[in-house]
Structure 1
Amino acid sequence: MTPLRSVCVFCGSRPGQSPAYAQDALSLGNGLAQHGWRLVYGAGDVGLMGEVARAAIAAGASTMGVIPTHLMGKERGKRDLNQLVITENMHERKKVMFMNSDAIVVLPGGAGSLDEFFEVLTWRQIGLHRKPIFLLDTSGYWQPLIALMDHVIAQGFAEDHLRTAYTSVPDVPALLAALEQALS
C-alpha cells in the first residue's frame, strides 16, 4: 500500500483580477482529488484558498487545513475539512503545513504567499529539505518574481543553483504531470 501523498498549496486569500486564477485553483483542486493526493492548505474559505479547497472536497480529496486563531474570522476558517488544525500564529501555520506535505505548490497570491514561498525556498537553499517547490505561473503571474530571482543571482546574492530549487509551470496539466513525477 502506497502512503497518502500530500500537496501543500500556498495561494491568495483573495481571488485576484483575472478569472484564470480561480479557474486554475478549481482545476488544481480537482486534479489533486483525481490523483488521490491530500490537499494541505491555509484552511480559508475565501479567495483562491476557498476555490481550491471547495473543488478538492467536491471531487473527493482528503483535506487538511491549517489556520492561526487570529485569521479564523477573516479567512472564514473552513469547517468541512477532513482535518482542521488551529495554530497560535503564522509561523506555526507554515511549519505545520510544510511538515505535513510532500510537495509545495504556490498559486498566485500576495505578500503572504510570497512569504510562504520564500520561507520554503530558503529552507531548501540551506539544505533543510528536498521537497519539490512549484510555481503555477497562471497567465505569466510569476514572471516578475522569476526575473527578480535572476537579478538576485546576477548580482551575486545567490548561486545559480537557486534556479533549480523551484520549478515554474505554465498550467495545471503541466503542474499535475510534474507533481506525478515528483511524488512517484
Structure 2
Amino acid sequence: MSAICVYCASGPVEERYLRLAQQVGEALGAAGHTLVSGGGNVSMMGAVARATRSAGGHTVGIIPTALVEREVADIDADELVVTDTMRQRKQQMDDRADGFITLPGGIGTLEELFETWTGGYLGMHDKPVILLDPFGFYRPLLEWLAQLREAGFVSSAALQRLVVVESVDHAVTLAAGG
C-alpha cells in the first residue's frame, strides 16, 4: 500500500469541502493506504485524518512546533512528528509520501502544491501529483496557468505533470501509482 500526502485547508471552510476531505480519508483508509498530512486536527486536515483512521487506515501527521497550538495537533494520529520548522515539515511530508493529492485550500495549500508539482516537473521526484477538483474550485487557477502557457511562461510538459481529476476514487488510485 502507498503513503499518500494530502494537502488541504486547515481553516474554516464550507461543509461540502469538509465532506470532500472525509470522502478522501475514507477512500484512503478503505484501500489500506497511509495518510501523510500536515498534522492538524481541524477543518479539512482534521476531517481527512479522522476519516482515514475510521476506515482502518494509518495516519502520519507532521507539524512544526509553532503550529502545534495554532492548528491544534492531531494527537490521535498513529504517528505525530513535530518538526522545528515549516521547511522540515514539508521535507518530511515529501520524503514519506509516494504520491500527492491536493484538495481546496488557501495559500499554504497552494504553496505545497506548487512546490511538489515543480519538483516533479524538474525531475526531483517521479511521484504522482494530483489536483482533486470536483467543484471547480481551481478552475480560475487552471485558466490562468493556461494563459501562462500561451504566453510562454509555463511549458505544456509542466502542465501535463499536474493531473486534474474530479473523482475521489480516481485521485486515490492515481496518487497510489495506479
Query: Could you say which residue in structure 1 is the equivalent of 2:134?
Result: 138
Aligned to 1:129: 125
Q: 1:59-92 CA deviation, whole Å, 9 max, x = no partner?
A: 1111100000000001100111111111111111
The alpha-carbon deviation at position 144 of structure 1 amounts to: 1.2
Does structure 1 residue 94 correspond to structure 2 residue 63?
A: no
**Equivalenced residues, count:** 178
Q: Distance in 1 between matches of 2:50 and 2:17?
A: 15
Of 34-43 and 151-160, the range deviating more from structure 2: 151-160
**Contact 1:20–1:139, Cα closer than 8 Å, also in 2:** no
Q: What's the offset of the Cα at 1:103?
A: 0.4
| 1:8-28: CA deviation from partner (whole Å, max 9, x where unpaired) | 0010002423x2211111011
Alignment of 1:96-175 (within 5 A): 96-175=92-171
Counterpart of 1:12?
9
Moved over 4 A (4+): none
Q: Mark the runs of 5 or more structure 1 residues left unpaired by the alignment.
A: none
Residues 20, 138 of structure 1: 8 Å contact kept: no
Deviation of residue 145 (structure 1)?
A: 1.5
Partner SS for 2:119: helix
SS at match of 1:75: helix
Q: Aligned Cα RMSD in Å?
A: 1.2
* 2:64 corresponding residue in structure 1: 68
- SS in structure 1 of the partner of residue 101 of structure 2: strand
**TM-score normalised to structure 2 length:** 0.95
Structure 2: segments with no counterpart, 5+ residues: none
Aligned to 1:59: 55
